[in-house]
Amino acid sequence: MTRIAESQPLLIQMEGGVMTLTLNRPEVLNSLTLEMLKGISEALKKAEKTPEIRCVILTAAGRAFCAGADLGDLKERQAEAPFSLGDELRRHFNPLISQIRKLEKPVIGAINGLAAGAGASLILSTDIKVASRDAKFINAFSRVGLVPDSGMTYFMPRFLGLSLALEYAWTAKPITAEDAFRFGWVNRLASPEEVGPAAWDLAKEILSAPPLSVALTKRALNRSLENDLETQMEYEAQLQEILGKTEDHAEGVTAFLEKRKPNFKGK
């Protein structure tokens, strides 16, 4: 197990094929600075290039997951002319959200508390989500005259449907963990002290699956959000053509016939 210094705004721990990224500014509810965004992005690049890293868990220290962008950090940059909120998103936030969605390894969000603004968008971009029963999600952009961003307007209608997405975006009222679970916003609920272990349990379940199958399944389901049925079925056929020639496929079939546990190698 390896870990960087506890004083850093982003903690990185690697153990058993899992990289855990922990937002570590609990005194300001883990609000996001450019340094943190860059750190997450660099860690994900490492995960992408390192075969031994099979899964990523994204979580946070303290009583909140993330309160969104650090307004103090943002204000400093706003003082530098010219400044554009659009460019801020294009340069720093949007690339990270896209990076999480495109990473062909599972990213599990472990939500230990409040997730607001860009913090909610960040956690929604993860593949599977475990939330503390006292967690809540807040989309308060309307209170400051803005629209939801960092992918929020993409994720919300897909999880909630258009009508609920509009209601929560316009009113800025919180979504409780219980409602988030009911809506399909999160996969599992846990007590506050069990959020981390529950995320690890999910990671271990996924680690038992063949890595190439896991990667291409994420790719296929991402593509399905935009494809029509006929296009998607053809894409499935193309991916099956690839996976059908792998050693892991042959091992899976053999193990099934021999009634034993498969030994997948990612080949």
H helices present in 50-92, as ranges:
71-78, 85-88
Alpha carbon 166 to its chain's center: 23
Span 40-67, pLDDT tens digits:
999 999 999 999 999 999 999 999 999 9
Span 148-198, pLDDT tens digits:
999 999 999 999 999 999 999 999 999 999 999 999 999 999 999 999 999
- 95: which residues sit within 8 A by CB, 6+ positions away? 41
Residue 214 sits at φ, ψ, to 5 deg, of -60, -45
Give the domains, in start order, of the chain with CATH numbers: 2-207 (3.90.226.10), 211-258 (1.10.12)
Is the entire prediction scored with pTM above 0.85?
yes
Instruction: Name the pairing type of β-strands 188-190 and 128-132.
Output: parallel
pLDDT of residue 7: 67
Give the residue carrying structure tokens 């496929």: 249
Span 192-249, pLDDT tens digits:
999 999 999 999 999 999 999 999 999 999 999 999 999 999 999 999 999 999 988 9
Model confidence at 5, pLDDT cuts 50, 70, 90, reads: very low
Contact between residue 69 and residue 89 where contact means Cβ atoms under 8 Å apart: no
